[in-house]
Structure 1
Amino acid sequence: MAERAAGAAGLPEGYTAADAERFLPEVHGGVRSDFARDRARVLHSSGWRRLAAKTQVLSPTAGIDFARNRLTHSLEVAQIGRELAVSLGLAQDVVDTACLAHDLGHPPFGHNGERALNEWAADAGGFEGNAQTLRVLTRLEPKRFGPDGQSVGLNLTRATLDASCKYPWRRDEAPAGSRKFGYFADDAPVFAWLRADAPPRTKCAEAQAMDLADDVAYSVHDFEDAVVSEYIDPEILTARSGHDSLIAAVSEWADGSFTADELGEAFERIAETPTWLTRWDGSRRHQAQLKNFTSDMIGRFARAAIHDTLEAADGAPLARYGAGIVVPRGVRAEIAVLKGIVAAFVMESGRRQPTYRRQRDLLAELLDTLWANGDRELDPAFAADYRSAEDEAGARRAVVDQVASLTDQSAIAWHQRLCVVPLV
C-alpha cells in the first residue's frame, strides 16, 4: 500500500488521495468531503429507498407493521458502524456509507429470494446479494456515465466501495462450504480497480467494521422482532424446555463454527443479563425491558471488540489495511446464539416453510415468464441491458437484475400481472 499521508487533501488521518479516487474522475466545489458525498449519493438513491419494502426477516407484506425492513435495518447498522468508526479511528463517513449500502443488492423476500435467484441463474454466474450490491453501486444505480456511454453507477470513492465489499473474492474463490462472493464476472474490471494494492481476499478495516455492525444489529434486532411478533416465547427459553435440541439447532445453523459447549455457555451468559426477559405479555414494561436488552447486547458486543482491537493494534492505525478488527470468540458465540435462536424459531420454523416455498415459486415463475418474453416486459433500463448483452448469460443477468430490483410487493404485483391467468 502506498504510504499514507495524514490529512492529505483534507482527508481523515490514515487516508490518501488514492482512497478518495473515483472510477470516473470528478471535480467538485463546496465544503463536503469526498467521503461525505458518497454517503449522500447512497441516501438519495432509488435503490436505497426500495429497501423500505424489502424483507429483513419478516416480509413487509406479512401485515406486521412494526417489524424491521431492510432500510430500517441498514439505518441501525449504520448507527452501530459509525460508533465503531469513532472509537477505532476509522473514517466515519466511509463506514457509515458502507453500512447504509450493504444490503442494496438484496432481492425481494430476503435470503429466501436470494436462494431462488441463485438457482435460476445457476448457469449464468449465479446470484449473491453482496455481489449484487457492488453491481448496484457501480452500474445499476444511475448517476454518472463514462465517455463510452456506459453507466458507472454512483461512482463512489475507492475506499467506500472497498468498505462495502464483505466478500472480496469471486465465486470460485469462496472458502470451502461458503456460497458467498463479492462480484460477478462482468463486474471484474471495477472490482480490480477498487482493490488496487489490497491484500488478496482480505477485507479492509472499514469493511470489517461494517460486517461486525451488521452481525450485531442482525442478531439483537431480529431477536427483538421475533419476540414482539411472538415467534419466540421467552418463557420457553427460560424454562429450558428442549434446551439441548435448541443448542443443537443453533450449532447446526452455525455450520460447526462453535462447539455445543461453547454455544451453551454463550446462552448462559446472555441469560444472565439483568434485562433478559423471562416472559412476554406485550406490556410497555416488557417492551422497555426488551429494548434495554438489545441496547445492553449492542454495547457489550461493541465494547469487547473495540477493546480487543485497540489492544491488538497497539497504537497502529487501523485505516484501510493498517490493522484488523478483533472480535473475541465468546462474543462471536453469543452473536451466533441470538442469530441461531431466530433461525430456529422463525426461518427454520415449520410454520414458515409453506410461505418460503410460495415466495421461491413466485420468483421462479416470474423469472421464467420474463425470460420467455425477451425484453418486452422489462423496465427500459433493464430492457436495454438485455438487448446489448453479448451472450445468453448476459441476457439472463439483465432479467435477474430486474427481478432483484423489485420490492416484495412489486414482485407479487408483477407475478399477478404476468403469470396468473385471469378468470374468464
Structure 2
Amino acid sequence: MSVGMAAPRAPYACDPDRSRGRLFAEPPSRTRSPFRRDCDRVIHSNAFRRLKHKTQVFVFHEGDHYRTRLTHSLEVAQIARALARQLGLDEDLTEALALAHDLGHPPFGHAGERALDACLKAHGGFDHNAQSLRVVTALEHRYPSFDGLNLTWEMLEGIVKHNGPLTARDGTAIGRYVERGVPVGISDFVQAFDLELSTFASLEAQAAAIADDIAYDAHDIDDGLRAGLFAVDDLKVMPAAERMIAAIDGNYPGLDGDRRGAEFVRELISYLIGAVAAETRRQLSLVRPQSVEEVRNAGQQLMLFPPDVAETEAGIKAFLKAHMYRHERVMSIMKDAEQIIFDLFARYERSPADMPDEWREGTEQTAGAARARRIGNFIAGMTDRFALMEHQRLFDSTPDLR
C-alpha cells in the first residue's frame, strides 16, 4: 500500500452500517453514513463555533496566531484521521470524536476548568468529559424533536470513554473517578442509554484521544516558541528533540528561527504518529481482535506510544509544564482568569436575575445542586470574550488578562 493511501476497513473498526443507533430514532440519511452525519452535526453546533474564542493556553487577544480550542480541535482531527487512515478505521467517526472532544471545556483553558470545579465541589465538581456529553445530549437546542444532537451510541461512547473505562464490571468507579465517583452527568445519562462504562472505547475513540496528546505536544511547543517563552535550542535537553534538531540543522544549515521551529514541530508530529501506528499494529497482532466488541473487551488500550516514545512524550509534557504552563507570565494571567470565574459563579448564585432570560428561567425557583449545575452549564458555555464582557457588566473592575 502506498504512503497516504487509506487501508481497507479493518474487522475491528466501527461499521456505520452496524451502529447501535441513536437515543431518539430517526430515518437514515440518503446521502451520509450515521458517523458522517454525527460529524456534520458537531461542526454545525453552537458549542463547536464557540471554541474559536476559548483559550488553549494564551487568551484570545494575546495574538491571532496562537491556538484556540477550535484550532486545537481541527489539528486533533487531522492527526486522528491520519491514524485512522493507516489502521483501517472509520475516518468519519474518528474525525467526529476528535472535533467533539473539547465541547465541554469552559473559558480560559485549564484555569477555567479548575475554577469551575472548585465552584461545584459541593455538587460533584466539574468534569469536561461529562460536560461534553451534556452539551451533545441536552444543551444544544437545534432540533424540533429532541434536545442535544442525538448522536450515535458510538459517538457518545467515545466522548465518555476515550481515555478508558470509568468503572469496573461491578459498577465501582475506577481511575480518576475513584475519589468522587462517576460524574452525575454521565451516571444519570447511562440509565437511559447504557454506554457500558466498564469497557474500553473503540479504536476510533482511542485514536482521537492519543491525537489530542500529539497535538498538545506539538502546537504548545509551536506557541511557546512564538511567545518567546523558550527557544528551539532549549528543547535539546530532551534527547529525541536534540536528535531531530541536529538533523534539521544538518539538512538546512543557517535556517532562520521561525522556520527551524516549524520544521521541528513538523518532524515531531510525524515521529509521534509513526510511533503510535507501529505500536498499535504490534498490539493488534498480539490481541488479534476480529470485531469492535473484541476491542472493547481487550482489557487494555490498544492504541499506544511504544515505551521509549512514551518516555519521550512524557518528557515533552514535563518540559512544557516547566517552561510554559508554569511560566510566570502564563500563571499570572490564569490566576486572574480563575478569579473571573469565581466572581461570576458567586454573583449568579446570589442573584440569578443577572443571567440572560433563557438561563434565568427556572433558576430563581431552584436552590442547591440544581441551581449550581445550571449556573455551571451557563459559565461552561461562555467564550473567554463573553466571560470578560459579563464580568465588566457586573463588576466595577475586571482584570485585563495581559
* TM-score interval for Structure 1 and Structure 2 normalised by the shorter chain: 0.7 to 0.9
Report the count of equivalent residues. Answer: 374
Cα distance in 1 for residues equivalent to 2:304 and 2:222: 26
Cα distance in 1 for residues equivalent to 2:84 and 2:365: 42
Say if 2:350 is the partner of 1:372. Answer: yes
Structure 2 match to 1:135: 134
Q: Which has the higher contact order (CA 8 A, sep 6+)?
A: 2
Question: 1:169 aligned to 147, 163, 166, which one?
Answer: 166
Structure 2 match to 1:333: 311
SS at match of 1:272: helix
* Offset of residue 169 of structure 1: 2.4
Structure 2 match to 1:303: 274
* Offset of residue 273 of structure 1: 0.9
Residues 19 and 34 of structure 1: CA distance in aligned 2, closer, same or farther (over 3 Å) = same
Cα distance in 1 for residues equivalent to 2:348 and 2:149: 27
1:157-213 CA-to-partner distances (Å, cap 9, x unmatched) read 0111112223542798242698898x63144343355544x4605333222111100
Structure 1 match to 2:211: 213
Residues 289 and 381 of structure 1: CA distance in aligned 2, closer, same or farther (over 3 Å) = same
Residues 320 and 112 of structure 1: CA distance in aligned 2, closer, same or farther (over 3 Å) = farther
SS at match of 1:203: coil
* Offset of residue 307 of structure 1: 1.4
* Offset of residue 221 of structure 1: 0.8
* Offset of residue 284 of structure 1: 7.9
Contact between 1:94 and 1:163, CA under 8 Å: does it hold in 2?
Answer: no
SS at match of 1:164: helix
Residues 15 and 237 of structure 1: CA distance in aligned 2, closer, same or farther (over 3 Å) = closer
Structure 1 match to 2:122: 123
SS at match of 2:324: helix
Question: 1:418 aligned to 371, 394, 399, which one?
Answer: 394
Contact between 1:55 and 1:69, CA under 8 Å: does it hold in 2?
Answer: yes
Say if 2:360 is the partner of 1:383. Answer: yes
Contact between 1:275 and 1:293, CA under 8 Å: does it hold in 2?
Answer: no
Structure 2 match to 1:223: 221
Cα distance in 1 for residues equivalent to 2:180 and 2:228: 31
Structure 2 match to 1:261: none
Cα distance in 1 for residues equivalent to 2:68 and 2:180: 22
* Offset of residue 298 of structure 1: 1.3
Structure 2 match to 1:255: none
Say if 2:377 is the partner of 1:406. Answer: no
* Offset of residue 311 of structure 1: 2.3
Residues 23 and 133 of structure 1: CA distance in aligned 2, closer, same or farther (over 3 Å) = same
* Offset of residue 19 of structure 1: 2.4
Trace 1:54-65 onto structure 2 (pairs within 5 A).
Answer: 54-61=54-61, 63-65=62-64
TM-score, normalised to structure 1's length? Answer: 0.80
Contact between 1:205 and 1:320, CA under 8 Å: does it hold in 2?
Answer: no
- Where in structure 2 are there 5+ consecutive unaligned residues? 1-7
1:97-135 CA-to-partner distances (Å, cap 9, x unmatched) read 010011111111000000000001101121121211111
- Where in structure 1 are there 5+ consecutive unaligned residues? 1-5, 241-266
Residues 105 and 343 of structure 1: CA distance in aligned 2, closer, same or farther (over 3 Å) = same
Cα distance in 1 for residues equivalent to 2:16 and 2:235: 50
Please say which of residues 153-162 and 308-317 is displaced more in the overlay.
308-317
Q: Identity, % of aligned pairs?
A: 29
Contact between 2:105 and 2:128, CA under 8 Å: does it hold in 1?
Answer: yes
TM-score, normalised to structure 2's length? Answer: 0.84
* Offset of residue 233 of structure 1: 2.4
Trace 1:253-272 onto structure 2 (pairs within 5 A).
Answer: 267-272=238-243
CA RMSD between the two structures: 3.0
Amino acid at match of 1:359: A
Amino acid at match of 1:223: I
